[in-house]
Amino acid sequence: MLGCVRRWFLTIIIVGITPVAAFAEDWGMGASNAKIPPSSTFQAVSTPAHEINTVAFFVISITGVIFLIVAGLLTYSIVRFRTRAGDDGREPPQVYGSNPIEFAWTTVPVLISFVLFLITARVIYVVQARPQPPDALSVRVIGHQWWWEFRYPGLGIVTANELHVPVSELASPTPTFLDLESADVAHSFWVPRLAGKTDVIPNKKNTMWIDPHVPGTYLGQCAEFCGTEHAMMLLRVVVESRADFDNWVATQKQPPRVDPAVARGRQVFQSTACVNCHAVQGTGADGRFGPDLTHLMARETIGSGVAMNTRDHLRIWVADPNVMKPGALMPAMGLDNQDLDALVDYLVTLR
């Protein structure tokens, strides 16, 4: 019996220590405090994520106290009233129909649940009811199998998988409001350090907002199973100072420079099925099924985060995307090596 209790105790301690150690790491108190995980829910840098974090810790602390009281009483009873040699085998006195006890264990949980409900409802309201200020940056987020399209209607910019937004200072907030739509199936937009998950549903527009107040790159992930490559539907949000953001906008608005040295690759691009799915400003290619490639090389990754955006990776990708991302909807183009090299030479000039 005691062995069983010891094992039970040990399990509670181990199960309890593991998340605590993880929190400590996230709070920068662990051994590797130099690096904050770029997608840690415990390191909020935007109001919606911060509000959710606060309510989550509040709920965890209340339920944690309840757990400690219940588990403590249970442990005490198991140890104190265990079977001993020489017991006479009689049952202890049974208590039925005690009004004070019935009253206490009905009202106390009801009151606790009510407080938790009120606090959660307040946070939902704070996060969802914020009106969009007229000068806020507005971005359309369109989920595709398996990548993200970002369109800035006020700026005339279209990009993919890497969302750039200005930092929002507490003194002069510049929040970004997102309209979320889907081109095919249900997805879910989730950047843990910036906000909670919001579903991206076909034929429906959902909205959310972020006001990141620390510059940096924050990683996100599609959070709704959407098919073969759901797990590789990654995204990153680049939060920049106002000056850096304005620079990025200015570069994105320029058409890519036409380089005569890569004319052959450009011709390969324009004469294959690339143009049916991809757009490049100034080439007549205006496909919408795949990512806009006008400023392809301004992005850090390709294939929605499947690989870093280097010439070698691009070549593997264009030769056959299924090598990197099995199930990807872009087909292998079946180009010979010369055309493939020329095409990749052209693609790396799209800045």
CA separation for the pair 236, 250 (Å, rounded) = 20
- Of how many residues is the chain composed? 351
- Which amino acid, one-letter code, is at 23? F
- By C-alpha distance, which of 298, 306, 291, 338 is closest to 319? 338
Element containing residue 157 per DSSP (H, E): strand 157-160
Whether the bond into 105 is cis, omega within 30 of 0: no
157, β-bridge pairs? 152
Nearer to ligand CUA, 306 or 342 (CB): 306
Smallest separation, CB 220 to ligand CUA (Å):
11
Smallest separation, CB 280 to ligand CUA (Å):
25
Smallest separation, CB 161 to ligand CUA (Å):
12
Tokens of 298: 């301004």
Nearer to ligand CUA, 144 or 266 (CB): 144
CA separation for the pair 207, 121 (Å, rounded) = 18
Nearer to ligand CUA, 330 or 342 (CB): 330
Q: How far is CA 139 from CA 165, 173, 182, 222, in A?
A: 9, 17, 14, 17
Nearer to ligand CUA, 164 or 187 (CB): 187
Nearer to ligand CUA, 50 or 230 (CB): 230
Nearer to ligand CUA, 190 or 346 (CB): 190
Q: Is residue 300 within 8 Å of residue 162, measured between CB atoms?
A: yes
Nearer to ligand CUA, 43 or 145 (CB): 145
Helices (H) and strands (E) in the chain, counts: 9, 14
Q: Given its phi and psi angles, is residue 184 left (phi above 0), alpha (psi -120 to 50 degrees) or beta? A: alpha
Nearer to ligand CUA, 163 or 285 (CB): 163
CA separation for the pair 237, 164 (Å, rounded) = 6
Smallest separation, CB 203 to ligand CUA (Å):
16
Instruction: Point out which residues bind ligand CUA (CB under 6 A).
Output: 143, 146, 187, 222, 224-226, 230, 233
Residues 6 or more apart in contact with residue 320 via CB below 8 angstroms: 332
Nearer to ligand CUA, 48 or 143 (CB): 143
Smallest separation, CB 221 to ligand CUA (Å):
8
Smallest separation, CB 219 to ligand CUA (Å):
15
CA separation for the pair 349, 340 (Å, rounded) = 15
Smallest separation, CB 233 to ligand CUA (Å):
4
Q: Is residue 238 within 8 Å of residue 162, measured between CB atoms?
A: yes
Smallest separation, CB 295 to ligand CUA (Å):
23
Q: Which residue has the tokens 């930092």?
A: 167
Smallest separation, CB 299 to ligand CUA (Å):
18
